[in-house]
């Protein structure tokens, strides 16, 4: 079952340059940086209050994400949905009978894409939904709630 939007991923050539806009100009707080061992990328998570903005920087120029960056440039890469069962949901939303690509991870959680091409031009990823972390007080910062007391 799909529970929520987990993150919106933006493919970038240089995380530090991207942070000048997303962190310094927009005021978004970096909450996690991950370099998963299974994929040569740097994943930087910025707090949007009710979801994450994920900056995806390829670290290997031979990786398909680096090739995509060369041909399409920086921009929206995918949206990620928090789900109860990552593998079951990727199979459900992908083409019937198609085998999804290998699973990966982000923020220490299993994640993966369904098989097939983007639908309506949008890639969709699924990641493990964790209600304690995703809906708890650690997800929303004081900036989004109006302060520690929640008043604006």
The CATH number of 2-145 is 3.10.180.10
Query: Would the CA dihedral through 112, 32, 7, 139 be positive or negative?
Result: positive
State whether residue 140 is helix, strand or coil.
coil
Burial of 129 (0-12, 13-18, 19+ CB in 10 A): buried
The residues near 146 (Cβ < 8 Å, ≥ 6 apart) are 152
Q: pLDDT at position 146, please?
A: 44
- Percent residues over pLDDT 90 in the chain: 80
Band (pLDDT 50/70/90 cuts) for residue 128 is very high
Q: pLDDT at position 74, please?
A: 98
Q: pLDDT at position 148, please?
A: 42
Q: pLDDT at position 106, please?
A: 86
Does residue 112 surpass a pLDDT of 80?
yes
Quickly tell me which residue has 């991950």 as its tokens. 34
Does residue 57 surpass a pLDDT of 70?
yes
- Percent residues over pLDDT 70 in the chain: 89
- The greatest distance separating any two alpha carbons of the chain, rounded to the nearest whole angstrom, comes to 50
Domain layout of the chain by residue ranges: 2-145
User: Backbone phi, then psi, for 26, in 5-degree steps?
Assistant: -85, -15
What CA–CA distance (Å, rounded) separates 60 from 131? 34
């Amino acid at each position: 079952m799909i529970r929520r939007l987990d993150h919106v991923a933006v493919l970038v050539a240089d995380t530090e340059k991207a942070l000048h806009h997303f962190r310094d100009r927009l005021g978004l707080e970096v909450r996690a940086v991950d370099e998963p061992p299974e994929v040569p990328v740097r994943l930087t998570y910025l707090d949007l209050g009710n979801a994450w903005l994920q900056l995806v920087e390829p670290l290997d120029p031979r990786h398909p994400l680096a090739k995509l960056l060369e041909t399409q440039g920086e921009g929206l890469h995918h949206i990620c949905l928090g789900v109860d069962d990552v593998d079951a949901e990727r199979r459900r939303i992908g083409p019937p009978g198609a085998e999804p690509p290998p699973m990966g991870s982000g923020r220490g959680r299993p994640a993966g894409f369904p098989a097939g091409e983007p639908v309506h031009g949008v890639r969709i990823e699924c990641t493990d939904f964790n209600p304690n972390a995703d809906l708890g007080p650690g997800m929303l910062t004081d900036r989004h709630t109006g302060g520690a007391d929640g008043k604006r």
